[in-house]
Amino acid sequence: MQQPHVAVSGATPPQDPPDSSGATTEAPPKQVALAMDRLARAARLIADIRLGADHLLEALFLATNTPHHSNKTIELIRKEEASMRQHFQDLRALGKQLEDSGVLNGSLKSRGNSWGLHMPLVCPDGAVVAYAWKRQLAGQAGASAVDRTRLALKAFTDQKRRFFPHLEDEPFGHSHDGEFGVAKKQRTSQGLVTSHIEELNEVKTLSDILTDLENKVPNMKIFTYQRLDWLKRASLLSSSANENPVDPSKEQSMHNPNKLRSGSVNAVAVDKVAVIELLVPSVFRAVVSLHSAGSINPDAVAFFSPDEGGNYVHSRGLSVHYIFRRVTEHADKALQYFLSVDANTSLSLLLHWIYSYQTLFTKVCSKCGHLLMMDKSLALLLPPVRRPYRQTCTTNFNQSQLTPSAKVQNVDLNSAYHIGCSDEV
């Protein structure tokens, strides 16, 4: 029997608590710890018994080989028998204790999730703890480094806020789990120094990008959320998906009073924006997440049907519909491409590129001229799900020649291709 690695009571010498009969009056965690302790001792006793059996066999073997030492062997056997008997008695007593505490029989199971705990708990890094309450998880030896760091940071910022209220909170600090925004800050300031944007010589802020976009996209709605707010919204989507929405924009304004309204950008809220939702009513819903809240660094994008809702609707989730899965797949590549070319314009380009999908169900393929076509390799009927994202090579070399007012829009956003009709892999 393998010894469970008990973080709590591994080193303590085995000693029976004086009130073993009144075990039910103790707190559940103590009961669990005791039970585990007793199981460990039972394992040791069983090992001792095994050893004792070996000794007996050895003694018998000696007896057969050296008959003239019979007295000695008899002594040995008697001694061994006594210790074995003791072990068995101890084991029986232990078993009785375990039985009384309800560990060995089914009484625990019948009580359901007894003592109100799941036990024993196996932590993400493999250690076994006798008990855990979620909030105290980090206090246990078995908590993972991430959990401990997260809680240490929280404790630190709480204390800082309490004792140094005059110091401002870090904008990237705590709205994103476990992330430290310092590195990102560095990068953006680097970007400030070395940017080569053709149209403007400054890095746009998130609110600039969003207001810019709103002016250009008449039938796409843009909403921004803090990270946790988005998850709440996504769950709400599933519950309202079964009803008959009269007006999607009305419905959204009912559920999310925090959304940024066009024109009036709330400076504090922008710092916490981590999720951007782009909705073209009745066509698609795209979710873009930003790497640190308030930055212009997109890190994931996913497309969904406007009727989809639920916990899986987020920037790294996948739609249940094949068409949107394919679009998401293509969008991943586009995002990586935009990031590789120029990280500062990547968000702006991505959002504009996403907008080109409003014609997903109406625009025919630029190569074959059809809307719906059977994709042979996937065995699916799909409309053109690919929109080109690569910029043409010539424009990259023309940076110095372009006037400051020239448009950056050198991506061909007017064509669409089926998967089989497009040139890329």
Partner 1 sequence: MPNQGVTLTTQILTEACQCVESQLGGAKDGRWKTALTYYRPALREASASGDLPRELLGVALHDQLGSYYFLLRAHRLILQADSSMQALMDKLQSYKPRVVLNFEGFQYRLGDFQVRVGKCVPSSEVLRGIMMEVEYLPLSSIEKSRQILEDFFDIWQDTVKKRSLPGHFILVEPNFADYGLQDHYTPQHTAVQYATCMTQLMAAVRN
Q: What is the contact surface with partner 1 in residues (CB under 8 A)?
A: 244-245, 282-283, 305-307, 319, 321-324, 361-362, 370-372, 374, 378-383
Ramachandran region of residue 369, left (φ > 0), alpha (ψ -120 to 50) or beta? Answer: left
184: helix, coil or strand? helix
Q: How far is the CB of 246 from partner 1 (least distance, A)?
A: 8
Spatial contact of 392 and 326, defined as CB atoms under 8 Å apart: no
Burial (0-12, 13-18, 19+ Cβ within 10 Å), 33:
buried
Q: How far is the CB of 357 from partner 1 (least distance, A)?
A: 13
Q: Which is nearer to partner 1, 70 or 219 (CB)?
A: 219
Distance of CA 302 to the CA centre of its chain: 16
CA distance 42 to 46: 6
CA distance 366 to 368: 6
Q: Which is nearer to partner 1, 28 or 306 (CB)?
A: 306
Question: What is the number of other CB atoms lying within 10 angstroms of the CB of residue 44?
Answer: 17
Q: Which is nearer to partner 1, 102 or 383 (CB)?
A: 383
Q: Which is nearer to partner 1, 197 or 318 (CB)?
A: 318
Q: Which is nearer to partner 1, 26 or 307 (CB)?
A: 307
Q: How far is the CB of 371 from partner 1 (least distance, A)?
A: 5
Q: How far is the CB of 251 from partner 1 (least distance, A)?
A: 12
Q: How far is the CB of 364 from partner 1 (least distance, A)?
A: 9
Q: Which is nearer to partner 1, 103 or 327 (CB)?
A: 327
Spatial contact of 345 and 203, defined as CB atoms under 8 Å apart: no
240: helix, coil or strand? helix
- Amino acid at residue number 8: V
Residue 395 belongs to what H/E stretch?
helix 393-397
Q: Can you name the residues that pair with 372 across neighbouring β-strands? A: none
Q: How far is the CB of 277 from partner 1 (least distance, A)?
A: 18
